[in-house]
Structure 1
Amino acid sequence: MTRPVRTLALRWAVLVVCVAFAFAPTWIRLAEEADSGAVTAYVFVFPVLAVVAGQGTARRREGELPIHDRQTDLIVGGIGALLALAVQALWLPRYSDQYALLHIDLAAVVLFTLSGAIMLFGLRPVGQFWPILLLAFAMSPMLYRLLAVSMGGSRFAYGMVLVLVAGVAGAIAVGRTRGRAALGFLVTVAVGAAVLQLLLVLDPTIDIVLLQLIPTVGASAATGTLFYLLARRGRSKRPLGRPVGAPSVKSARSAVITLVVVAVALVTRPLPAPPPPVDTVGPPGVVAAALAAPTGWRLLDDETYPWVRSYFGQRSSLVRQELQAAVANPEWDVRGRPRTVVVDTLTTTNAASLAVYPERTLYRLASTRSSPELPVELGHGVTASLHTSVDDTLLLTWTKLVFDWVRDGVFQRITIISVDNHEPGAEFPEPTPSMASNLSSVFAVFLRGNTVVGDDDPDFDDRGLLASVGASLVDAQFPAGMEDAR
């Protein structure tokens, strides 16, 4: 191995080890999510696509002058490393309840990797790979899910988004000209889509990790290899057909020290605690999309929302039931009006999706503030969470009682909602695809902090109402005479 190759290999090894060590908690959490069926497993596919695109870019770099400013490299790289630390220490805690959806720590991973590369290899050489860097920043978990949901949210959609990313990687790899880049993209996408469809035909329940890995990496690697062989017809096929030049950065000692120090600081930053698993055992028997009406309440209306399948899986369902008390209770309304509540029942076979999309993401609540949660015991071993949501635009306060359980491998999240307007026709929050409002809330929290979405002085006037209807609703789902599990 020549000295330049050995030097480059050693620096790459330092960078990879530092990234792996600095974000070890993130890698562990991603692996746990992938094991539970979450689609964030694509993060482990992306580095392979980056290598495919990067080797093609590297082969086109020749005749460059070894011009660099070492002070600029260290300053830019150092600032980027500190920004990665700031994202992990300051920005990430603001979105603890949406960690599984946003995975903001991955932005810190990209920043730290980019900064380390600049310090180890120089700003100018790293800048040659800007298309890959742009693709890395663009492929956030939020954007990935947004694209997949817009394509229907099926397993094919989640795989196809990555096939398109593989097409971009293939275009970068073979793009000596615009024509070759376009052809590389089309060939990669065509091969990847065909392999993806074949996998789903052969095994419709194939693990999501394999569904993301095989079509994307296989198609991009095959396209890159094909174009490489065609470009070298009648010539040597040796991978290193020309000498490897020495890196522009002669000494990397200060860069290594900086990376190690920042990596140690990063690994000590805790991640938000994962949501508790859905392990409350629900009622036995056949799982229905809608719940039985509780004693003392009558069903006024029900409605189904098909859009939920794009978010929680093709076998999921969301049903809203509007219930009205059969008898008015003066403790719930001083004017003797029977109260009305709505019950939203979300049913899914994908437990990981419940962690990705918290309860409030079912509603478009960009202008609301939510209170801290209070535990409420409902019997049969069910513990619910009670909180309020204040809409500053409609001047309404909704009180929500939320609990979940698992029934024969099927997971259900039940949300009971009351409104402080007791008149007939009072407005309840409507279950609506809310990715756009989530983005607006993300930016609002980024600019103004969690106070913009928090209510520190809640009014729990409907606590008794929801505790009563919640306990009756839970009891109505269990067979008559079945004793409380507690």
Structure 2
Amino acid sequence: MVVAFFSTWVRLAQEAADGAITAYVFVLPLLAVVAAQGVARRRADELPIHDRQTDNIVGGIALLVSIAVKALWLPRYADQYELAHLDVLAALAFFFGGAILMFGLRPVGRFWSVWLLLLALSPLGYRLVAIGLSGSRFAYAAVMVLLAGIAGAVAVGRTARRGWLGFGCTVSTGFAVAAVMLALWPQVDIVWLQLVPTVGAAAVTGGAFYVVARRGRFDARQPRRVGSLTAKWSPSSKAVAIVAAVVLFFVPLPGRMELSTVAGPPGPVSEPLMPPVGFTRTDLQEFDWVRAFFGQSSSLVRQTMRADVGNPAWDVRGRPRTVVVDVLSTANRASLAVYPESTLYRLSNTRTSHPLRIDLGRGVTGSLYTSVSDALLLTWTKLVFDWERGDVTQRVTIISVDNHDADAEFPQPTPSMASNLGTAIGTFLRGNAVSIDDDPEYKDLELLTTFGTGLLRQQWRSGDGSAR
């Protein structure tokens, strides 16, 4: 599995080094070992009955599922790769299928609780649960501690009472360790928050239960006899697993999202952007929910700006156009790759065009695309770019709508992972055509290009980058 998904492990390590929370994937095998040793110690003698034909069928299907997920699903969800990491699911399917081919379905199935433990937290599921718990650093550690509690319960759970006691001891110990670490080292790397409280608590609980079980027993413990493999050895099964590993090794992963390193305007990051010449800010809103997604110090500010006079090139009736400018600021740069710009809005059942590259000056290149809502009969045009301002990275999204009335409806920044999951399911069932607009009309190309260029020019013209 290490060779077959070598590129996946390298990518996960790179993301973790950049500040993402994906390092927890490397913690899961350690928890699985803690749980598996408990299951193995409770093994009962069983009859050596095996159906190698069934083993080959089930194991082969699992390997095919692994190849299908990595080769077919990943390209469909390339823009959500770092959010969902479906290749981790593919790796688990490969591990499961390979184990069945090597050892048989019955021995592998005996560890069903360990397999459920590994399946419990996919990268997407981990983020969903942690975000539901406020998205803080302690929340991400707490989810791992709960998983460690399950591992501890499986390891010591010869009875239901021991299982619940093991869960409680592991969770309470893990929470205490995580709280102490955050109190003593508030800026401790998230990797250590995921590793130390979880594996440490599970190992300590398992060891403590073992010591208690041996208390008062002074006789030498007889080593448990290791039984020989009862499933008939099949060279063809080994060959199938090796071939599948080679195929998976050469299946490429989606490319990494490249974030701009262009320096932004001077001035305090907390100040809103200054409207370009010819536009006036008419409204300003702040959204606190982004802290659960992009870090506790992040912010999202929406400014509504309206043209002072109408322009016949932008509206045949000469009505002044309105645009909104959403500025997302975060110190966790890696989170911008995890949550693409589209995840800020609840835009299920929309079709998106391929982006155009727009030069806005000052070394900034924007990405312009359209989103069509067939339900609302509206087309939104977005111009997106990002820049760095000190330790903070800002993503700026400028949005226009083809309804030029003053009360035109713009997409609202909303926690939208649920709607994105709906779009993902639609893409899975109907293909990419359900979410891609192959024949777009860039009606507001001139408007957003002019506005974006003027917006950048005005930030540096103001001298300190702040609105006045």
Instruction: Provide, for residues 267-296 of structure 1, a one-character-per-residue CA deviation record: whole Å limited to 9, x for no partner.
Output: 100000000133111112322252111111
Measure the CA separation in 1 of the matches of 2:161 and 2:419: 39
Distance in 2 between residues matched to 1:291 and 1:264, nearest whole Å: 52
- Could you tell me which runs of 5 or more consecutive residues in structure 2 were left unpaired when the two chains were aligned: none
Separation of aligned partners in 2, 1:239 and 1:55: 17
Distance 1:366 1:267 in 2: 34
Q: Give the AA of the match of 2:153.
A: A
Who is 2:95 aligned against?
A: 113
Task: Measure, in 1, the Cα distance between the counterparts of 2:361 and 2:268.
Answer: 21
Alpha carbons 1:403, 1:415 under 8 Å: kept: yes
Structure 1: distance between partners of 2:462 and 2:36? 65
1:56 to 26, 33, 38: 38
Aligned length, in residue pairs: 464
2:94 counterpart of 1:94: no
Tell me whether 1:211 sits opposite 2:189 in the alignment: no
**What is the distance in 2 between the residues matched to 1:111 and 1:227?**
32
Note if contact 2:353-2:438 (Cα within 8 Å) is conserved in structure 1.
yes
1:418 maps to 400
Q: By how many angstroms is 1:480 displaced?
A: 5.1
Q: Aligned residue for 2:350?
A: 368
Residue aligning to 1:186: 168
Provide the rounded CA distance (Å) in 2 between the counterparts of 1:480 and 1:345: 18
Structure 1 range deviating more: 421-430 or 125-134 = 125-134
Counterpart of 1:246 in structure 2 is: 228
Contact 1:289 1:345 in 2 (8 A): no
Q: Is the 8 A contact 1:398 1:419 kept in 2?
A: yes
When the two structures are superposed, what TM-score results if normalisation uses the length of structure 1?
Answer: 0.93
Identity of aligned residues (%): 58
Counterpart residue identity of residue 336, structure 2: L
What residue number does 1:7 align with?
A: none
Question: In the alignment, is residue 340 of structure 1 matched against residue 322 of structure 2?
Answer: yes
1:406 to 381, 388, 392: 388
Match of 1:393 among 365, 372, 375: 375
Contact 2:310–2:320 (8 Å) recurs in 1: yes
1:380 to 362, 371, 380: 362
Q: Report the CA distance between 1:108 and its aligned residue.
A: 0.5
* Correspondence 1:325-336 to 2 at 5 A: 325-336=307-318
- Secondary structure, in 3 states, of the residue corresponding to 1:478? helix
Corresponding residue to 2:23 among 41, 60, 68 = 41
Partner of residue 153 from structure 2, selected from 151, 162, 171:
171
Q: CA deviation at 1:64?
A: 1.6
Which whole-Å deviations, capped at 9, do the CAs of 1:151-199 have from their partners, x for residues lacking one?
A: 0000000110000000011111111111111111111000000000000
CA distance in 1, matches of 2:220, 2:284: 67
- Displacement of 1:134 after TM fit? 1.6
SS in 2 for 1:333: coil
The answer (yes or no) to whether the contact 2:266–2:463 under 8 Å persists in 1 is no
| C-alpha distance 478-159 of structure 1, shift in aligned 2 (>3 A) | same
Partner secondary structure for residue 266 of structure 2? coil
Residue 458 of structure 1 corresponds to 440
Cα distance change on mapping 1:457 and 1:240 into 2, 3 Å: farther
State the shift of 1:119 in Å: 1.0
More displaced stretch, 398-407 vs 433-442: 433-442
Within-5 A mapping of 1:236-315: 241-315=223-297
CA contact (8 A) 2:52 2:232 kept: no
**SS at 1:53 equivalent:** helix
1:289 touches 1:347 (CA, 8 Å); kept in 2? no
Helix, strand or coil at the partner of 1:425: coil
Structure 2 CA distance for partners of 1:236 and 1:467, relative to 1, 3 Å: farther
| Structure 1 residue 481 displacement after superposition | 7.9
Instruction: Look up the equivalent residue of 2:180 and give its one-letter code.
Output: L
Deviation at 1:435, TM superposition (A): 1.2
CA–CA separation in structure 2 for the residues paired with 1:470 and 1:200: 42
Residues 153 and 164, structure 2, Cα contact 8 Å, conserved in 1: yes
Structure 2 vs 1, CA of residues 238 and 171 (structure 1 numbering), >3 Å: closer, same or farther? farther
Alignment of 1:26-37 (within 5 A): 26-37=8-19
Higher mean C-alpha displacement, 280-289 vs 112-121? 280-289
Q: Deviations over 1:3-53 (max 9, x none)?
A: xxxxxxxxxxxxxxxx00000000000000000010011000000000000
Deviation track 1:315-363 (CA, whole Å, cap 9, x = no partner) reads 0000000000011110000001000000000000001000000000000
Helix, strand or coil for the counterpart of 2:382? Answer: strand
Partner of 2:429: 447
Check 1:283–1:264 CA distance in 2 against 1; reply closer, same or farther (3 A cut): same
Task: Report the AA paired with residue 435 of structure 1.
Answer: M
- For residues 236 and 20 of structure 1, the distance between their equivalents in structure 2, rounded to whole angstroms, comes to 42
Does the 8 Å contact 1:289/1:319 carry over to 2?
A: no
Looking at structure 2, the residues matched to 169 and 149 of structure 1 have their Cα atoms a distance apart, in angstroms, of 22
Secondary structure at the counterpart of residue 345 of structure 1:
strand
Instruction: Give me the whole-angstrom Cα distance separating, in 2, the residues matched to 1:288 and 1:243.
Output: 66
Question: How many angstroms does 1:391 deviate by?
Answer: 1.0
301, 320, 341: which one aligns with 1:319: 301
Residue number among 108, 123, 141 corresponding to 1:141 in the alignment: 123
SS at match of 2:116: helix
| Counterpart Cα distance in 2 of 1:238 and 1:188 | 28
Shift in CA distance, 135/431, structure 1 to aligned 2, threshold 3 Å: same
**Structure 1 residues 148 and 109: alpha-carbon distance in aligned structure 2, compared to 1, 3 A threshold:** same
> Under a length normalisation based on structure 2, what TM-score does the superposition of the two structures give?
0.97
Shift in Å, 1:130: 0.9
Q: 1:133 to 1:289 in 2, by over 3 A?
A: farther
Q: CA RMSD in A?
A: 1.4
State whether residues 259 and 386 of structure 2, in contact with CA within 8 Å, keep that contact through their aligned partners in structure 1.
no
8 Å Cα contact 1:399-1:460 kept in structure 2: yes
